[in-house]
Amino acid sequence: MEENYVCPICGARVNDIEAHMLQMHPEEIARQEKEMLDEMARQQKEAMHSMRDMHPGIYEEFLEELAKEDSREIKMICAREYLAMNDFEKAGSIYMDLIERGEGDAEVYAGLGICKRREGKNDEAMEFFMEAVRRGDLDVAVANICDIYEEEGKFAEEKEFLSELLKEHDIGYLHALYARILTMIGKLEEAEKEAKKAIEMGEEDGYIYLAFSLILRKKEEEAEAILQEYNEKHPDKLHSYILLANIYMERDAEKAEKYLDILLQKADEPEVMDYLIQSFLNLGKMEKAEEVARKAIRMYNMPQYHLIYGLLLLMKGEDEEKEFIRFLDAFPSRDSYVRIIEIYIDAEKYDKAWKYLKKAEINFGGDSILKYMRGNILLAEGNVDEAMEAYESSLKERKNVNAYIGLIKCYLQRGEGSKALDACKEAIEITDDEDLRRELEHLMATLGG
């Protein structure tokens, strides 16, 4: 029988090309199938996101129906989409359903951890992340655990956690994270050794943490050279640009802005956008800070960006309230009102501070928090006696540090040092904030206590 086909891999002439490929080149078949599946997944994701952007209501209905499917893969797609939409309740519900069905693998537990962390429930998030690690997730879960430890100032716990993991898993990524925590607790030479070990094992983040430790040792030229090398290898990764911007922030604003501009072009993560907004403000680049805030709202529509954008508009003397109202529509809590009131107090816009305090009192009543906020406005306006009444009223509702701090300021303005000293003692007894405790102890020493 005439051989009619030429194999594109080995050049052999064959009659049945499909059988030949399956027998002689199964790895190529597998690669092509993977490429096809990846492309199908990309097209599916693109179509879903297009629907989400153009028809959000229809898209939400579609997701709700899709999540009812029995397929684990489909449920995971829905959970990831809900996470992207910041609907942590629905994403968490899908993950919990998978656990109850006995399908709770490392990715599911890590997903639940992300839901809880974004809800501000770090203790619950840690439990799920730890379970994800036990089930083999040494990437997403470990990174989140380390971030939580650092947010809470639990550096010794993070060091111990990573040290134990490294006894079981001698991998570059963990050495890089270990270098990071060693840097944060001041063990800079040890950190450099760990970072170099990570680099030797092929972990590119080792460059970042090596540069970080060198910066802290005032070896900025060495750090810059390492970061430039990293940028040449990975122009699309962002942490190196952040470190380079930080190197120049104080000594060369033009260079710092250059690296921030690169980040602005590439940034697609909320944390990076937060950094950019603050950094541009520090450089006095109000328009660029505003540009980032608008970009963040377009990309994520996360409520906090409406608050940030509103603050930027307020600083420019433009209409900020529409953004604050959007923030309140998304998070209509007492704490949201408090944040807006504090912004107006700092801006010395006391009429608007009163406006939002009264709205909060209508919605939530006059509890201890809103009473000390009333005291804060009165004190800022110079009404010391009325402010003291508000702080004392707050303390009658509940012992709280903020009301004591307000009273201390009032007593100091009235020259009543002994009463300020007594209020310091009361505040110290109930605070868990070590920095505040130190400040109060220093004030007590100044007052002769």
Q: Taking Cα atoms as reference points, which of 408, 447, 448, 449 lies closest to residue 427?
A: 408
Q: What is the pLDDT of residues 293-319, one digit of tens each?
A: 888 888 776 778 889 899 999 998 999
- Domain contains 40: yes
CB-based contact 423:407 (threshold 8 Å): yes
Domain finish residue from 14, 34, 52: 52
Domain that holds residue 16: 1-52
- Domain contains 262: no
Domain finish residue from 13, 37, 52: 52
Q: Taking Cα atoms as reference points, which of 376, 380, 401, 400 lies closest to residue 390?
A: 376
CATH code assigned at 373: 1.25.40.10
Residues forming a β-bridge with 14: 5
Q: What is the pLDDT of residues 99-152, one digit of tens each?
A: 998 988 999 999 999 999 988 889 999 999 999 999 999 999 999 999 999 988
User: To which H or E segment does residue 6 belong?
Assistant: strand 5-6
Structurally, the chain folds into a number of domains equal to 2
Q: What is the pLDDT of residues 222-238, one digit of tens each?
A: 888 888 888 888 877 77
Rounded to an integer, what distance in angstroms lies between the CA atom of residue 307 and that of residue 242? 24
- Domain contains 395: yes
- Domain contains 339: no
User: To which H or E segment does residue 318 belong?
Assistant: none
Average pLDDT, integer, range 290-295: 87
In sequence order, which residues have a C-beta less than 8 Å from that of residue 96 and are 6 or more positions away? 112
- Domain contains 370: yes
Domain finish residue from 52, 73, 93: 52
Q: What value does the mean pLDDT of the chain take?
A: 86
Rounded to an integer, what distance in angstroms lies between the CA atom of residue 307 and that of residue 305? 5
Token pair listed for 298: 């377009």
Phi-psi region of 121 (alpha: psi -120 to 50; beta: other; left: phi over 0): beta
Q: Looking at residue 404, what is its pLDDT? A: 94
Rounded to an integer, what distance in angstroms lies between the CA atom of residue 391 and that of residue 374? 8
Q: Looking at residue 200, what is its pLDDT? A: 93
Greater pLDDT, 59 or 291 = 291
- Domain contains 300: no
pTM: 0.54
CB-based contact 227:243 (threshold 8 Å): yes
Alpha-carbon distances of 54 from 4, 47, 60, 88, 295, rounded to whole Å: 50, 11, 12, 22, 18
Q: Percent of the chain scored above 90 by pLDDT?
A: 48
Q: Looking at residue 240, what is its pLDDT? A: 83
Q: Taking Cα atoms as reference points, which of 347, 344, 327 lies closest to residue 336?
A: 327
Q: Looking at residue 331, what is its pLDDT? A: 83
What's the pLDDT band for 1 if we cut at 50, 70, 90?
A: very low
